[in-house]
Amino acid sequence: MGDTGSLAIGGSLSFLAVIEKVEILIPLLFFIYFAEQLSVILQVASFKSRGKRIFRMTPIHYHYGLKYGWGETTIVTAFGFVSWICTFICFAYWKFVL
């Protein structure tokens, strides 16, 4: 997708969350995005401070391909499944709690 598409989707979803006044759900709704970014931050911090890597490669989806031999389709399916679960949890929270 690249930076342009992913930034547009993230910006649109954030805008909708602000309009609906459910900013509290953003970390769960964007769990995969945060996990990808957190893996890069942890890898850089670990390598600069200790000289050791936590993951074989970052972002984390590359790590799954290298360490576990997952193909691109498997990674996309797994990440999509996690995204759908997080989205369902956010929807249920929004519908029944808020």
**What are the strands, taking DSSP E only, across 1-98?**
none
Pick from 10-24, 42-56, 62-76: least confident: 10-24
Binning pLDDT at 50, 70 and 90, where does residue 84 land? Answer: very high
Task: Tell me the domain boundaries of the chain.
Answer: 25-96
Q: 């000289």: which residue's tokens?
A: 51
Q: Which residue has the higher pLDDT, 1 or 59?
A: 59
Report pLDDT digits (tens) over 1-20.
Answer: 566 787 888 888 889 889 98
Mean pLDDT computed over every residue of the chain: 90
Query: How far is residue 65's CA from residue 57's CA, in Å, rounded to a whole number?
Result: 9
Number of other CB atoms surrounding residue 34 within 10 Å = 13
Take residue 31 and report the two structure tokens written for it.
Answer: 């769990």
Q: Is the pLDDT of residue 92 over 80?
A: yes
CB 36 within 8 A of CB 60: yes
Average pLDDT of span 18-36: 89
